[in-house]
């Protein structure tokens, strides 16, 4: 995976039309890949935690627990009604069993890898004309749009497990956006 797409250099997808374009593109390619993107931007967990989910972790549940690979912390993840419905539809469509991986690899009896998730997202991003996209873009997109809807940086900080609001704002690209907007009309 290229170094330039680390979590500090990738961006959220800010444009909702681009989000829809990515969904449409991925749906044509693969139900699994489409659902990976859909769930990723609606649940806000790291890709390394998302790809390790099994059907039994999410099917029919209002929340699930994830042991975060990065921190080792056990985290409660809320699954809203809309996402629960999408999960049920996806599981039925893919004919997945309770102990199956939610995002199964086509090679063997494992889940897709982080590298494969990156390839999926990178391909879709190129197709719809997005740059600076990586696996963290799913989580950042969730955070960006959550913040735009609620303006509650404290709650988003808690969701992400960040130590300060400034870290959360920088992570979702709000600081850069706010600086750019504030300087747009600045003239001496």
Which of 23, 75, 127, 162 is catalytic? The answer is 162
Catalytic residue, chosen from 136, 140, 145, 146, is: 136
Residue tagged active-site, from 32, 59, 111, 139:
139
Judge whether 144 counts as a catalytic residue. Answer: no
139 is catalytic: yes
d(CA 91, CA 102): 8
147 noted as active-site residue = no
Identify the active-site residue in 25, 118, 147, 171.
171
* Secondary structure (3-state) at 107: coil
Among 32, 46, 59, 111, which one carries the catalytic annotation?
Answer: 46
Q: How many CB atoms lie within 10 A of CB 76?
A: 8
- The neighbour count for residue 17, using CB atoms within 10 Å, is 9
162 is a catalytic site residue? yes
Query: Strand runs (DSSP E) across 21-153, as ranges?
Result: 63-67, 74-78
Catalytic, 136? Answer yes
> Which one is catalytic: 70, 76, 107, 149?
70
Task: Give catalytic residues, as residue numbers.
Answer: 46, 70, 136, 139, 162, 171
């Amino acid at each position: 995976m290229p170094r330039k797409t680390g979590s500090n250099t990738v961006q959220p997808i800010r444009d909702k039309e681009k989000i829809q374009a990515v969904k449409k593109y991925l749906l044509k390619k693969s139900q699994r890949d489409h659902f990976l993107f859909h769930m990723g931007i609606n649940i806000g967990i790291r890709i390394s935690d998302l790809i390790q989910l099994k059907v039994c972790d999410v099917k029919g549940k209002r929340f699930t627990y994830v042991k975060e690979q990065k921190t080792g912390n056990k985290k409660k993840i809320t699954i809203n009604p809309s996402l629960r419905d999408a999960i049920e539809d996806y599981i039925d469509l893919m004919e997945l069993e309770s102990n199956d991986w939610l995002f199964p690899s086509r090679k063997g009896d494992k889940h897709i890898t982080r590298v494969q998730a990156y390839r999926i997202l990178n391909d879709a991003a190129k197709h719809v004309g997005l740059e600076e996209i990586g696996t963290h873009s799913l989580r950042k997109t969730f955070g960006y749009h959550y913040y735009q809807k609620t303006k509650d940086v404290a709650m988003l900080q808690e969701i992400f497990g960040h130590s300060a609001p400034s870290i959360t704002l920088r992570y979702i690209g709000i600081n850069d956006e706010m600086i750019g907007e504030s300087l747009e009309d600045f003239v001496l």
